[in-house]
Amino acid sequence: MASTSKPVSLPAPQPVVCPIPDLGEHFGPLNERLEIMTSKLRVLRDGMNQEQHPLVPSLDAELALAEVKGTLGEISRGVEELCRAERPQSYAQVVAKPAQHTNHPDSVLK
């Protein structure tokens, strides 16, 4: 009772083909927008490099400048005081002066 049956051949499976959407339709507007934004950013960046910003001193710089001005004022007042003060005379200056004789008994040469 052995049956000799011939194996049945099955048809080869058909590959599943998914339709690929045209991505250019979807990415086209995005690419255009990206190019527009890129060019705007370049313009802004180049404009920032060319602009001359006015020099505005910071608070630290202003405080340092005020301190320097105050110190210079103190130094100039000190120099003026030194110029007005009597300086001690050197030996050569004392000898070069003519002797001053007065009628005071202590000033009479002995």
35/27: higher pLDDT: 35
- The verdict on residue 34 lying in a domain is no
88/109: higher pLDDT: 88
Euclidean distance between CA atoms 63 and 33, whole angstroms:
49
Whole-number average pLDDT of the chain: 80
The model carries a pTM of 0.31
Tally of domains in the chain: 1
Domain around 78: 57-87
Contact criterion met (CB below 8 Å) for 65 and 57: yes
100/76: higher pLDDT: 76
Contact criterion met (CB below 8 Å) for 107 and 101: yes
Token pair belonging to 66: 């005020």
- The verdict on residue 76 lying in a domain is yes
What radius of gyration do the chain's Cα atoms show? Answer: 52
- The verdict on residue 70 lying in a domain is yes
- The verdict on residue 71 lying in a domain is yes
63 φ, ψ (degrees, to nearest 5) = -65, -40
- The verdict on residue 80 lying in a domain is yes
What 8-state DSSP symbol labels residue 12? P
Euclidean distance between CA atoms 11 and 17, whole angstroms:
18
- Kindly tell me if the per-residue pLDDT of 37 is higher than 80: yes
- The verdict on residue 108 lying in a domain is no
Amino acid occupying residue 33: R
- The verdict on residue 82 lying in a domain is yes
Per residue in 57-72, pLDDT (tens digit) is 788 989 999 999 999 9
